[in-house]
Amino acid sequence: MYGQELAEVYELIYRSRGKDWAAEAHDVTKIIRSRLPEADSLLDVACGTGAHLAAFGEEFGHVQGLEIAEPMRRLARRRLPGTTISPGDMRDFDLGRRFDAVCCMFCAIGYLGTVAEMRSAVAAMARHLPVDGVLVVEPWWFPEQFIEGYVAGDLAQDNGRTVARMSHSTRRGNATHMEVRFLVGDAGGIREFTEIDVLTLFTREEYISAFSAAGCDVEYLEGGPTGRGLFVGVRRR
């Protein structure tokens, strides 16, 4: 997952859907500052290609990113040469400092396989906050929202390249098993590759319990950037 082939077309596909990373970052910043008006530092966990992080950099005095996938991390560093993009696993990272806010966007937390792993990730993020710091996590779908056999398709074109993406989702246990096929065409020809995404359908109560165990007051905001809502926590201990 998140290898070089996907990294090269990742933003193009989601831009074709109308995804606006800058607008999302602005909205999350407003949420953070409504809880902590003086917030001036932010860590973006699973920052991907740095698209959100670039926008957060215009809102906060200091930003950093954490990303486990090397191809995505390389693109983020290319975009943000003066910004620290650390390698690391959200389940157990330690950057040796705290941030006024920590966020984990675009359902990245859903890629964790168990409730214990999700709780470890939330705890690791919360440890990077001071008291009154703000944690924002965008979840994957809840179990009751899953649609068996769901198919999605996208077609994107840019600078002489055309990318088609089709996905098919089934439920296996408590996880979405999504087969995603890509066709990429450019002057050099047409190539195909497949990604298998497995995203756990954690319940709302499991997320809330993880935030509480990490010492955070938490609320769930409906809607959010992709319709899946946002969990917003404030560290109290």
pLDDT tens-digit profile, the chain (237 residues)? 689 999 999 999 999 999 999 999 999 999 999 999 999 999 999 999 999 999 999 999 999 999 999 999 999 999 999 999 999 999 999 999 999 999 999 999 999 999 999 999 999 999 999 999 999 999 999 999 999 999 999 999 999 999 999 999 999 999 999 999 999 999 999 999 999 999 999 999 999 999 999 999 999 999 999 999 999 999 999
Q: Are 1 and 180 in contact (CB under 8 A)?
A: no
- CA–CA separation, 214 vs 124, rounded Å? 8
Give 204-231 as a DSSP string.
HHHHHHHHHHTTEEEEEESSTTTSS-EE
Helix 204-213 and helix 115-127, axial crossing angle in degrees, nearest 10: 40
pTM beyond 0.85, yes or no: yes
- First-to-last CA distance in the chain? 36
Rg of the chain over all Cα atoms, to the nearest angstrom: 18
Ordered by where they begin, the domains of the chain are 4-142+201-235 (3.40.50.150), 144-200 (2.20.130.10)
